[in-house]
Structure 1
Amino acid sequence: MRSVHLTHHAADVTPRDAYARIGDFARYPELVDTVRRVSVRPDTGDGVIGSDWEVDFRNGVLAWEEEDVFDDSALTISFRQTRGDFDTFDGHWQVTPQGTGCRVEFSAAFDFGLPTLANIVDPVAERVLKQTIGHVLHALIGGEEVAA
């Protein structure tokens, strides 16, 4: 299983504001070209929503459905694929105060379930995911990536 970790610092955005912006998944396609579509299903009343994603990957499109759990008090969003092109895809967003702004951490683990192609496909997927999340964060909250 491959993992991606990204830490981002925004000096002038409050943690609560960053959390709200990050959780607005439906905006992601207007922020980065590689995200084709995100459809968000309504909250079930317990902080859980469903979202459907289509993202450009190599010469095709990755598509999946995920369950997103929002914890407003901890400023975290956890997600896990419930159906789609990955064999496994899950992770979380964590927003914490830092100075006058905030620190955002994104972590995800994924597996395509194709062991014979893992050495070829997984590094590309890791790079695309990291670049896409970096672009999304820069568009949503400004700031910069922090070396982990």
Structure 2
Amino acid sequence: MPSVSIHVLSPAVAPAEAYRRISDFARYPELTRTVESVVVLPPAADGTVLSEWTVHFRNGLLKWSERDSFHPEQLAISFEQVTGDFAEFSGDWLIEADGEGTLVRFLADFDLGIPTLAAILDPVAEAALRTNIVTILEGLLGDAQEIVVEPETADSARS
């Protein structure tokens, strides 16, 4: 299954504040034209939240609902698609201190569910996801920049 690992450094925002901003999914459409809408539903009894996403992709829209689990004590958010256009979509937001600033890691696995076109669509989807996440984080955190991490390091960071 394809995966994407995005690391963004924000030197001026503290980790707890970065987590608070990233957790506010409803603001994402304000930060990039690619995110058409995000509807965040009230929390379930177990503390998870359902969010409904509509995102521009190529010449159309991708729509999905995901279950989000917030872990403020670990500065982490996990998500997993419940229904929608992906065959599978899940991942994590991980926020940690880096000097006086913050390192944000967005890690996701996805499957568009079209095996015959995977060689063409998967790289396009990964690039679109990378661009959107970096744009969102720039909007949320201000002076934020993507940093390149070797694939072995990125994969081990998820374990």
Which TM-score bucket, shorter chain as reference?
Answer: over 0.9
Structure 1 unaligned blocks of 5 or more: none
* Matching of residue 86 in structure 1 with residue 86 in structure 2: yes
CA deviations 1:16-37 (Å, max 9, x no partner) are 0000100100000010000000
Count of residues in correspondence between the two structures: 148
User: Partner of 1:5 in structure 2?
Assistant: 5
**For 1:147 and 1:114, how far apart are their aligned partners in 2?**
29
User: Partner of 2:113 in structure 1?
Assistant: 113
Partner amino acid for 1:70?
A: F
User: Partner of 2:60 in structure 1?
Assistant: 60
**For 1:8 and 1:135, how far apart are their aligned partners in 2?**
10
Q: Which runs of 4+ in 1 moved over 6 A?
A: none
User: Partner of 2:43 in structure 1?
Assistant: 43
Q: Percent identity, aligned pairs only?
A: 48
* Matching of residue 147 in structure 1 with residue 148 in structure 2: yes
What is the RMSD computed on CA atoms of the aligned residues?
0.8
Partner amino acid for 1:119?
A: A
TM-score, normalised with respect to structure 1: 0.97
**For 1:47 and 1:7, how far apart are their aligned partners in 2?**
27
What SS does the aligned partner of 2:12 have?
coil
More helix by share: 2
**Structure 1 position 45, deviation (Å):** 4.5
**For 1:138 and 1:37, how far apart are their aligned partners in 2?**
18
What SS does the aligned partner of 1:42 have?
coil
CA deviations 1:96-127 (Å, max 9, x no partner) are 01111111000001001211010111111110
TM-score, normalised with respect to structure 2: 0.91
